[in-house]
Structure formats: structure tokens, C-alpha cells
Amino acid sequence: MTELSARVAAWMAAEEAVHLPPLDRTDLRKGIQGLSGLYVHQRADQDLAARAGAGPARRAAFACYFAPLHLLTAVAALERHGAALGTAGRPVWDLGCGSGAAGAAVSWCTGQGPILGVDRERGWLDAAGRTWRALGLRGRARKGTLPEGMSWPKKGEILCFGWSINELDDEARAEVLKRVQASLRVGGSLVLLEPLSRRISPWWGSWLRALSPLGVVDHDVKARVALPQQLRDLDRAAGLDHQELGARLMISAGG
């Protein structure tokens, strides 16, 4: 078992202890199935965040199942395509951090720099802190709504958007794009992950055209990953199969 697998297993056990009880394993399974249905049928205009956060079973499903899948997917993506980000431990902004999975992956793969999380849902902020502590990372999360919740750029920061840009409306997304461009111009880097389905991110091509002159490239990532036993058990219980993880990635290829 690698150091990361051991930490993910311990993190998952700790998250389950937060949610079960009062929930039981049947609640968790139903929460996973409910959220999984939302992901599969997600439309570009749907506020998945609000619906994902609705109800304790879905919150538990996100924290105990989808967040670890996000972390492992992001790590697989960065192992393949993240070399230019270096390992100097640069600060990582985790924007739309939820329970902190994507920012944790970026920090873990780039030298364990401090994580600054922002999410509009106050209820996720403690969960993000738990995630980063469980993985041995430094981080703090604050309530904020994108785009205003983003600070203006400082040199050398990594901006991470893990499955969050899809949840913005067009106006907010356009303003976030401007701030990403400003950050890249002063030596910042980008890591942006979304589901593989092209249907739900119609903005992808225009973002890429706007960001490729600043060194950003995209990849479809599909990776077979050895899942921790807890994830295999939850997969089986929910009738799902995550032996292959996938995401679309936009990433700075030049540092």
C-alpha cells in the first residue's frame, strides 16, 4: 500500500465515523445511488451543488464516496500530466472546494504546499479541514462565492477548480475566466477538472481558446486505479463500477 492509499483509507474511515451514525449503511448506499443518478443525468444548467448538498444521506455520500473518487481521479490526472507544476510546494487555491478533495490532490502532487479553500456552502468548510488534516496537508477553508471569493492573483499560485466550474452560471464563469487569465499572466498555474461528458460543459472549447495562449492544454484522462477496499465495498453495494476513473483536465503545461 502506498503512503497515499493508506492515508485515503484512514480519511475514509474517519469520514464514515462522522456520518454513520446517525446514518446507517443503507442510507449511505441510497445517498450514493441518488447522487450518482444526478451526475449521470446532469445538465449544463443544473445546480448540482445545491442538490448534492441536500439531505444528510447525499452529504455523506459525497464526503465518504465521491470526494475520495475525485481525489484519486485528480491524482491520476496529475501523475500523467502535472509535471510542469513542479514540486516546490506552491500555494494551492481550491476554488469550490467542497470537502477538499481536488485541492488535496494538487497539493499532494506538487510538494504539499498550503491549501486555501473557498466554497459558498458553509457546511463543507469543516469537512475540507478534516480532509486536509487526514492527508497530512496544511489548509484552511473560508466561505466565499465565485468569482468574488477569488483573491486577485499572486505570482506562483496554483488555481484548482475540481468539478466546480460547471456549477457556475454564465456570468460568474466569464468573470472567473478573466481572473484565471490574470493569474496565469503573473506566473500562476491552472488545474481544472470536470466530468468526461462534453454535453455538460459547453464552455470547454471557448475556455481552452482563451487559455491556450497562456500555456494551458487539455486532456481526457482515463485511468485504472487500485481503489481502497472501502471504495470497492461501496461500489459493490451501490451497483457501481469505478475500476476506471475518468475526467477532463485543463492544466498549465508550462509551469
Residues at the interface with ligand SAM (CB under 6 A)? 49, 67, 70, 96-98, 101-102, 118-121, 124, 145-146, 149, 162-164, 167-168, 172
Q: Which residue is nearest to ligand SAM (CB)?
A: 98
Closer residue to ligand SAM, CB minimum distance, 49 or 184 = 49
User: Concatenated DSSP letters for 83-132?
Assistant: GGG-SS---EEEET-TTSHHHHHHHHHTT---EEEEES-GGGHHHHHHHH
Least spacing, CB of residue 211 vs ligand SAM, in Å: 19
Closer residue to ligand SAM, CB minimum distance, 166 or 252 = 166
Query: What span, in angstroms and rounded, lies between the C-alpha atoms of 66 and 81?
Result: 22
Least spacing, CB of residue 74 vs ligand SAM, in Å: 7
Least spacing, CB of residue 116 vs ligand SAM, in Å: 13
Least spacing, CB of residue 216 vs ligand SAM, in Å: 19
Q: Is 16 strand, coil or helix?
A: helix
Closer residue to ligand SAM, CB minimum distance, 108 or 124 = 124
Least spacing, CB of residue 241 vs ligand SAM, in Å: 20
Closer residue to ligand SAM, CB minimum distance, 26 or 54 = 54
Closer residue to ligand SAM, CB minimum distance, 59 or 212 = 59
Decide: residue 17, CB within 10 A, 0-12 exposed, 13-18 middle, 19+ buried: exposed
Closest CA to 1 of 228, 233, 235: 228
Closer residue to ligand SAM, CB minimum distance, 97 or 158 = 97
Nine cell digits for residue 212: 491556450
Least spacing, CB of residue 146 vs ligand SAM, in Å: 4
Strand order in the sheet with 216-224: 139-143, 115-119, 92-95, 158-162, 189-194, 244-252, 216-224
Decide: residue 55, CB within 10 A, 0-12 exposed, 13-18 middle, 19+ buried: middle
